[in-house]
Chains A and B, each alone.
Chain A
Amino acid sequence: MKRFALAIAALLGLLVTLAAAEDKVATLRPVTPLAESGEAAPMPNVVNTDIRQVRNYPEQPPLIPHKIDNYQVDKNSNKCLTCHSRAAIETSQAPMVSITHFMNRDNQFLASVTPRRYFCNQCHVVQTDARPLLENEFVDVDAVLEYVKSKEGAN
């Protein structure tokens, strides 16, 4: 009997959370019924300030702070490297593609960008001015360290 009551309670709890979730979570299709197609959201603009942004964590591939519309990156040509390659940066004054990109998977440095790092857009993306659907609760590692330190100080 007790077990049955528990199960009922758990089920009720689940239903309540589901209902609450339905109200709270903003999705890409907020109110439009499933069978209809809603109005498309306006397309956000690409941030084109040329101001480098802080990486959220050390390993984050840096964001591209400019437009890259129609940049050709294929077997024939790599538009990004016309400015960011080792030889080009004196003229372009753009940041050079990191030396890690010259490393093949045996950690050997090649003379130029290794094929596995050739397609810039696999990791580096532009930032748009779109409003996030959910608030981002990400905490920077420095903030985490601060927090840990303050805790240690308290003890």
Chain B
Amino acid sequence: MWALIKRIWGVVRRPSVHYSLGFLTLGGFIMGVLFWGAFNTAMELTNTETFCTGCHEMRDNVFAELKTTIHYSNRSGVRATCSDCHVPHNWTDKIARKMQASKEVWGKIFGTINTREKFLAHRLELAQHEWARLKANNSLECRNCHSSDSMDITRQSTRAAEAHERFLFTGEKTCIDCHKGIAHQLPDMSQQSTWMEAPSGKALENATAFLEQRQKETN
């Protein structure tokens, strides 16, 4: 047994002694193609809607909600699947996101959101992660389809055209700032400052200082 291990180790350590260089190069190339193909195929498999909705957590909550929205059913029949919005298309970013997703596997195993109630309790936190991600990459996943260069605002309603002109084209805001809850229902937003009414830090500071002063005076 020991001898066998030793022999295999010898071959692995110095393969060119035992096999021809051509065989090793060709073999390495073929194995490389196979490995790469298999790796990418497996990863693409985890990007499909069938895979995502394989778990009831996704199928019964977020996927059910998506079905009523324009990103699932619309006049032209073009639609977004889960990964179109939730997984970056760029390879390195995709790998990074997939590694983050190991946390989601953990959640699945330990049933973090395995009931509707648990899901709703976590919904705000989960949504905030996605909002932060899209805010950080300037709504990249939206822009994979909705390019502002190709956006003809004369075909939009007056209201939409004005808003896009003022906020999108100037770069003042990014898609997710205004279009939260576009594909799934929103969590409890009462503690969230909406895109319109984010109070400026100064005003809030002034108000806090004033109230604290009053408190002191009354005591």
Say whether B158 contacts A82, CB under 8 Å.
Answer: no
Q: Is residue A92 within 8 Å, beta carbon to beta carbon, of the partner chain? A: yes
Residues of B within 8 A of A (CB-CB), count = 20
* A50 interface residue (CB < 8 Å to B): yes
Q: Does A127 contact B (CB under 8 A)?
A: no
Contact A70 B68 (CB under 8 A): yes
Q: B195 — which chain A residues lie within 8 A by C-beta? A: 82, 91
Q: Which of B5-13, B76-84, B86-94, B180-188 lies at the interface with chain A?
A: B180-188
Instruction: Among A48, A50, A77, A83, find the residue whose CB has the most chain B CB atoms closer than 10 A.
Output: A77
| Whole-angstrom distance between the Cβ of A58 and the nearest chain B Cβ | 26
Bound-state CA distance A82–B196 (Å) is 6
Is there contact, CB below 8 Å, between B159 and A66? yes
Instruction: Please give the distance in Å from B53's CB to the nearest CB on chain A.
Output: 21
CB distance B185 to A72 under 8 Å?
A: yes
Any B CB within 8 A of the CB of A18: no
| B70 contacts A by Cβ under 8 Å | yes
- Per the bound structure, the CA–CA distance linking A146 and B192 in Å amounts to 51
B187 to chain A, nearest CB (A): 6
A88, CB-defined interface residue at 8 Å: yes
Looking at the complex, which one of B162, B185, B196 makes contact with A76 (CB distance below 8 Å)?
Answer: B185
Verify A88–B194 contact, CB threshold 8 A.
yes
Contact of B196 with A49 in the complex, beta carbons under 8 Å: no
Instruction: Give the bracket for the number of chain A residues in contact with chain B.
Output: 20 to 34
Contact A85-B70, Cβ < 8 Å, known A76-B188, A77-B186: no
A85-B196 in contact (CB<8A): yes
Q: Cβ of B189: which chain A residues have Cβ within 8 Å of it?
A: 76-77
C-alpha spacing A93/B196, complex, angstroms:
10
Chain B's closest residue to A70 (CB) is B69
Q: Is the CB of B185 within 8 A of A48?
A: no
- Answer yes or no: B205 CB below 8 A from chain A CBs: no
Query: Which of B186, B190, B197 has the most chain A CB atoms closer than 10 A to its own CB?
Result: B197
Verify if B157 is at the interface (C-beta below 8 Å from A).
Answer: yes
Residue in chain A with minimal CB distance to B195: A82
Complex-state Cα separation, A39 to B161, whole angstroms: 37
- A106 adjacent to chain B (CB < 8 Å): no
* Distance between Cα atoms of A63 and B27 in the complex (Å): 73
* A14 interfacial contact with B, CB 8 Å: no
| Interface flag for A29 (CB, 8 Å) | no
Q: Contact between A48 and B196 (Cβ–Cβ < 8 Å)?
A: no
Q: Do A72 and B196 touch (CB < 8 A)?
A: no
**In the complex, what's the smallest C-beta–C-beta distance from B211 to chain A, in angstroms?**
14
A85 to B194, CA, bound (A): 11
Q: Which residues of B have CB within 8 Å of A92?
A: 163, 196
Known interface pairs A76-B185, A76-B188. Does A82 touch B194 (Cβ–Cβ under 8 Å)? yes
Closest-CB distance, B119 to chain A (whole angstroms): 13
Q: Do residues B158 and A87 form an inter-chain contact, with CB atoms below 8 A? A: no
B194 touches A76 (CB 8 A): no
What residues make up the interface of B, taking CB atoms closer than 8 Å to A?
68-70, 157-159, 162-163, 181, 185-190, 194-197, 199
Q: For the A-B complex with A88-B194, A91-B197 known, give 8 more contacts whose Cβ atoms are closer than 8 Å.
A: A49-B157, A77-B187, A77-B189, A85-B194, A85-B196, A85-B197, A91-B196, A92-B163
Q: Which 3 A-B pairs have CB atoms at the shortest separation, nearest pair first?
A: A88-B196, A87-B197, A77-B189
